[in-house]
Amino acid sequence: MKCKLLLSMILIILISFSISYSQKVSHPSQLKFKPLKFEPPDPLDYRIQLNNGMIIYIKEDHKLPLFQLNAYIRAGSIYDPKDKIGLAELTGSLMRTGGTKNMSGDEIDETLDFIAANINIYVSKFYTTASISSMAKDIDEVLKIYADILMNPVFDEQKIKLRKEEVIDAIKRRNDNPRTIVANEFNRLLYKNHPLSWLPSLKTINNISREDMVEFHRRYFAPNNMIIAIASDFNKGELLQKIKRVFSGWNKKEINFPVLPDVDINIKPGVYMIQKNINQGFIRFGHFGVRLNNPDIYALRIMNFILGGGSFTSRITTTVRSNEGLSYSQGSRMGEGTIFPGLFYCYVQTKSSTVPYAIYLILKHVREMTEELVLDSEMETARNTLIERFPEFFSTAFTTMNNFAKLEFNQQPFDYYKKYRDRIKNVTKEDVLRVAKKYLHPDNMIFLIVGDIEKCKAGGSKYKGSLEDFGKVNIIQLESSVRK
């Protein structure tokens, strides 16, 4: 009896020993992992709509004594008038710096800086974000200022002058960096005269008056035109009361959004070059992409992951960087536009003499995507990567609320996250080939190269052909007006 007990004890010790010091496997593929379950939170559990139309996603978060808020407001530079490009951006920054009916801009800066609170307003193409980051103890003071900025900005003339100088300075520096040039000019080649390609100039900035900003603010800033995400070390009910209080008197209003022109999706294929005295060619080539609500979006994401979106696991990086040593940064993007189609493009930067060769190699991969099924192993890597990383959408309470707000802002369904993993899982390699055939057009592309034109054209020994192989070569002159 005793002996049996001793034996079983030894056995238990041995077993537990073998668990903690189990034999090392000889290859990572032999590692066994315990299953991991993760269910995403439901946006509707956190969503509240106030009587003034304001939509709020809110979650208490007591880990740290912080208050974080971010609002998405449907007011972007896409609504700039053509002769006043830059208006939305100026309006946004002046709301933050130009004072309110109750406080001057300087008073606001001094108050916020002293309590280490940040209020930021950032204007992009389709929306403006207005955010707060402060200590939870300062919620009352910060919220009051935040609401005041959104409701009662006065756009002080002196501050307008200061901001215009900064904007003009940025315009003058715009063409210093080849990276910026390639992005801006590729947009311009694809979107042509559409507002999506517009950039402010000295003239359009000088055209903008204080009254224009007052009007832009009056037209777009309203509680029913914003969705707010909040995470805070504070009681949810009390915080909502505070929000109602600071925004009281700010009423719902009908907003007449301007009718935006359609994008002309015809393109003029060819090679376009811009002269810059640098030792590499900065290259971007492609055509139109898709819209976010496209039913093929998941298959497209997998397709682009395999082509050039999945860093070292993608074909473009493997060939151009890893095998050939031609570049440090390369890949492809499948743009998912919200209202208009985004842009699909491949990119690479390589020394002038390998510019034609790098383009040739990448283009070959694009073509292959439209001709052959991808490998099972590529499918597995792409799917597993996207599925296994999924919990990161919810890494903090604030990230989660912000993602939910953005989801609704982009008119995506509430069950987007719930269905996300299954949608990825269900994509087949036949789907990938089908969407590649449908959405990739290797014979109808715009190739943009910023670099030393003659050296890029000359190429090197690795590629026998010339840039003409990709289309007629056109030279673009950058607007010299930016320097004036």
Partner 1 sequence: MRWKKVFVLTILFLFTSTFSFAQTLKLDVKEYTLKNGLKILMVERHEIPRVVCHIYYKVGSVNEHPGITGISHLHEHMMFKGTKIMGVSDYKMDKEINDLIDLLEERIYYEKFWKRSKPDVKKIEEWQKLVDVLLKEEKKYIIKDDLWETYMKNGGSSLNASTGNEVTGYYVTLPSNKVELQMFLESDRMANPVFREFYSEKEVVREERRLSENRPGFFFREQLNSVFYSASPYSWMVLGWDIDLQKMTKKDFLEYNKKYYIPNNAVAVYVGDIDPENIISLAKKYFGDIPKGVTPEPVRTYEPPQRCEKRVYGEAEAPTEVTIMYHTPPRGHPDDAVFPIISGIMNGRTGRLYKSLIKEQGLAISAYAYGGGRWYAGQFTFSARPNERKGKTAEEVEKALYGEIEKLKSEPASEREIQKVKNQYEANYIRSLANNYYLASRIGREELNLGWRYLIEYLEQVKKVKAEDIMRVAKKYFVKNNRTVGILKRKK
Question: Closer to partner 1 at the Cβ: 74 or 96?
Answer: 96
Site string for partner 1, 116-155 (x = CB under 8 A): xx---------------xxx--------------------
Chain residues 295-354 in contact with partner 1, contact rule CB under 8 A: 310-313, 317-318, 321-329, 349-351
Nearest to 194 by CA among 294, 334, 342: 342
Query: Minimum distance from CB of 349 to partner 1 (Å)?
Result: 6
460 binds partner 1 (CB under 8 A): no
The single residue among 109, 148, 212, 296 that binds partner 1, judged by CB under 8 A, is 109
The single residue among 83, 157, 169, 468 that binds partner 1, judged by CB under 8 A, is 169
Residue 339 main-chain phi, psi, to 5 deg = -105, -40
Query: Minimum distance from CB of 35 to partner 1 (Å)?
Result: 7
- The span of 24-32, 254-262, 290-298, 410-418 binding partner 1 (CB under 8 A) equals 24-32
Helix axes 139-151, 87-97, angle to 10 degrees: 140
Question: Closer to partner 1 at the Cβ: 49 or 279?
Answer: 279
d(CA 319, CA 358): 9
Question: Closer to partner 1 at the Cβ: 182 or 246?
Answer: 182
Query: Minimum distance from CB of 113 to partner 1 (Å)?
Result: 4
Residue 427 main-chain phi, psi, to 5 deg = -70, 130
Site string for partner 1, 422-451 (x = CB under 8 A): ------------------------------
Chain residues 344-403 in contact with partner 1, contact rule CB under 8 A: 349-351, 380-381, 384-385, 387-389, 391-392, 394-398
323: left (phi over 0), alpha (psi -120 to 50) or beta: alpha
Compute the C-alpha angle 434/316/453, nearest 5°: 115
Query: Minimum distance from CB of 437 to partner 1 (Å)?
Result: 26
Q: Are strands 343-351 and 280-288 parallel, antiparallel or unpaired?
A: antiparallel
Helix (H) or strand (E) holding 301: helix 297-304
> Is residue 121 within 8 Å of 95, Cβ to Cβ?
yes
Tokens representing residue 226 in the block: 């914003």
Question: Closer to partner 1 at the Cβ: 75 or 432?
Answer: 432
Helix (H) or strand (E) holding 381: helix 376-388
Chain residues 172-231 in contact with partner 1, contact rule CB under 8 A: 172-173, 176-178
- Please measure the distance between the N-terminal and C-terminal CA atoms of the chain and give it in whole angstroms: 99
The single residue among 33, 45, 51, 249 that binds partner 1, judged by CB under 8 A, is 33
50 binds partner 1 (CB under 8 A): no
d(CA 254, CA 151): 16
